[in-house]
Amino acid sequence: DTGVSQDPRHKITKRGQNVTFRCDPISEHNRLYWYRQTLGQGPEFLTYFQNEAQLEKSRLLSDRFSAERPKGSFSTLEIQRTEQGDSAMYLCASRSELRGWGTYNEQFFGPGTRLTVL
Amino acid sequence: QQPVQSPQAVILREGEDAVINCSSSKALYSVHWYRQKHGEAPVFLMILLKGGEQKGHEKISASFNEKKQQSSLYLTASQLSYSGTYFCGTESANYGQNFVFGPGTRLSVLP
């Protein structure tokens, strides 16, 4: 257990439905990342937050995806009008902010939410 | 841009050594190595920084060639528990930008 939790762990939905996932990072970590991973591939970056600010969003992310991190604590990832191609594992990771040259911090991953779109 | 990993897969006998490589076309600030077992989240192994600093597990070693933007992960005296998929992740020299994972190297250690 890394200290990062995700909910739900599994989600099955029908095409066209909206889904929302939640990530609770390690409390003192101010950076939070969302990734999508399909079978046999590495995690694909979706977006990341520093505190409550969404600093970067993948160009590959369609407008159907939105993420929030109100108050800089937990984060939610919403997918609207789901498509079968959205089926994947959605991973969340948290990390301390880099401070100064030579400071390095690893990402701590949550267990993921596996989404299946029928 | 996604880093390139090689080999794509490797099969070892317990006790044998392996090297996994990661290269990027971008100037890198850091390289991170993670191991993922089937159905589980990635687990941190090692960070290597531009400038030579490292942070990681005692039994794992790695190198980072800043001139070539390449990193190698060295697995010595492999154990059955080393089996899994190894990913390198890279941060560009403009650190704080997004984090990009490679496609992974699948390692199987047989008894």
Q: What is the per-residue pLDDT for A56?
A: 86
- Please give, rounded to a whole number of angstroms, the shortest distance from the CA of A16 to a CA of chain B: 26
Q: How far apart are CA B10 and CA B104, in angstroms?
A: 11
Number of alpha helices (DSSP H) and beta strands (DSSP E) in chain A: 0, 11
**A33–B100 C-beta distance less than 8 A:** no
A82 inside 8 A of chain B by CB:
no
A49 inside 8 A of chain B by CB:
no
- Please give, rounded to a whole number of angstroms, the shortest distance from the CA of B98 to a CA of chain A: 7
Residue with tokens 């400071």: A103
Identify the helix (H) or strand (E) that includes residue A98: none
Check the CA dihedral A100-A105-A110-A114 and report its sign.
Answer: positive
B33-92, pLDDT tens digit by residue? 999 998 899 999 998 887 777 777 767 889 998 889 999 999 988 999 999 999 999 987
Q: Which residue has the higher pLDDT, A45 or B52?
A: A45
Pairing of β A113-117 and β A10-13 = parallel
A25 inside 8 A of chain B by CB:
no
**Closest-approach residue (CA) in chain A for B106:** A40
